[in-house]
Structure 1
């Protein structure tokens, strides 16, 4: 089943002879700003929410060098860096200056992000099943399921669950992302972007993610703390979904907008 769509934006700039700045934010959460002068360009990353995300930047250009040696990887005229950006902070991402002062420079940059911490270490704990105590819903696809549980969603579980079934938190955490405005779904990946979901940040900085919720199916709000067993929303059939069900997995962010599911166990 589908997972959060991570946004990648890019920008091409030829430097003018005066100071300029360019900035944009994704979901009013992850922001990137470039500040240009005649001598080079600096990039800043800002987190406008209280929850960490993993950010990556790739810059390819002409007549530039890594003046402060911040890049994790620099090959020729391409510079890359990945960092974990803590909540409500702003920091210098990359600083590039002219390699030859008498020549102009140009660049193309791509910014990637994913909620959570790429350095998170998953706690070895048992999770509650994501529905009310005393109920039972069969698993229709488990770890490494051949239909869609491969790659980033290798360790996900799908529960056969009628639309409108109350969903309960499998673990304590804080709600950091919600989508509930979609009302489309189908057995094709083209529907993936229409999934409704709730994302909960755990104390170990992994995320528990609950997918395919019904339209207006969230019963929690951003920033709300929840305990394992709390009711958080209602199941549905939105997004890449061949039948009404709940997709649950534990994820860790990775550089360049990627992420991976982690093996876990239920009580």
Structure 2
């Protein structure tokens, strides 16, 4: 999550220092004598952003800040910047952004597949609201050997990956060392598959995956006591906070269940 400030030195002209193109940008167009501010997504995945005016000498045409969901490779008109009389123009746009759809409306009746091979069975070692690291989280830990194939629990698009870590430990000092994949679904929810092994995925951001497709290999990276897969489904907030969601999974005999700590579940 980053923030960039663009300062207008002359009315309707945008002055920016040279820099790499960012995933999300703001820019201004002079349309019929009005300075119209746009948000732009330069990527093939969904981002959300919150925009507001910074500086002095102008006012917005609508109440700010404004939060928008930016579809892949899109531009969205946000608001006009109206100059104030007898005031020196020194206006710009300040914004922050996150990966994903902050306005997602989860389909809470959806039944997910188990995240491993058909015929395999694994045990839940930490369930929802677990005492070790799942406090106040609808998260699941499946105990499994490193290198176990992980499969998509639902179809979607890859929006975030970390796979360069070879470090893990049972304390929070390793929390940022976990390798992971984020896959967003049709309803805007995101599944996180975490603690993957070093270079434990062949996928890249923007790839689409089918339900049941292999997405990576389990590992023991990050804040982890032993090799396992951490799995959660969540919606993202503009602050970057994850709001996890209680989910049901399809198990033997085509039943749908909320998985519980201590139980083994076979994928059929």
Aligned alpha-carbon RMSD (Å): 3.1
Q: Aligned ranges for residues 177-192 of structure 1 at < 5 Å?
A: 177-192=160-175
Paired positions, count = 247
1:165 is aligned to: 148
1:95 aligns with 2:80: yes
For structure 1, the residue ranges without an aligned partner over 5 or more in a row are 1-6, 72-78
Bigger mean CA deviation after superposition, 208-217 or 103-112: 103-112
Q: Which has the larger radius of gyration?
A: 2
8 Å Cα contact 1:114/1:259 also seen in 2:
no
1:122 aligns with 2:107: yes
Query: Structure 1 residues 48 and 256, CA, compared in 2 at 3 Å: closer, same or farther?
Result: same
- Distance across 2 between alignment mates of 1:159 and 1:222: 25
- Distance across 2 between alignment mates of 1:175 and 1:217: 14
* Aligned match for 1:214, one of 197, 200, 203: 197
2:15 is aligned to: 21
Deviation at 1:117, TM superposition (A): 4.7
1:54 aligns with 2:39: no
- Distance across 1 between alignment mates of 2:46 and 2:219: 28
- Distance across 2 between alignment mates of 1:24 and 1:122: 43
1:109 aligns with 2:94: yes
1:132 aligns with 2:126: no
**SS of structure 1 residue aligned to 2:198:** strand
Deviation at 1:35, TM superposition (A): 4.2
Deviation at 1:222, TM superposition (A): 3.6
8 Å Cα contact 2:102/2:238 also seen in 1:
no
8 Å Cα contact 2:6/2:14 also seen in 1:
no
* Aligned match for 2:65, one of 71, 75, 80: 80
1:32 is aligned to: 25
- Distance across 1 between alignment mates of 2:228 and 2:105: 28
Deviation at 1:184, TM superposition (A): 2.1
Runs of 4+ with deviation above 4 angstroms: 23-26, 34-37, 39-43
**SS of structure 1 residue aligned to 2:67:** strand
Q: Aligned ranges for residues 200-211 of structure 1 at < 5 Å?
A: 200-211=183-194
8 Å Cα contact 2:27/2:38 also seen in 1:
yes
- Distance across 2 between alignment mates of 1:56 and 1:236: 35
What is the TM-score with the length of structure 2 in the denominator? 0.77
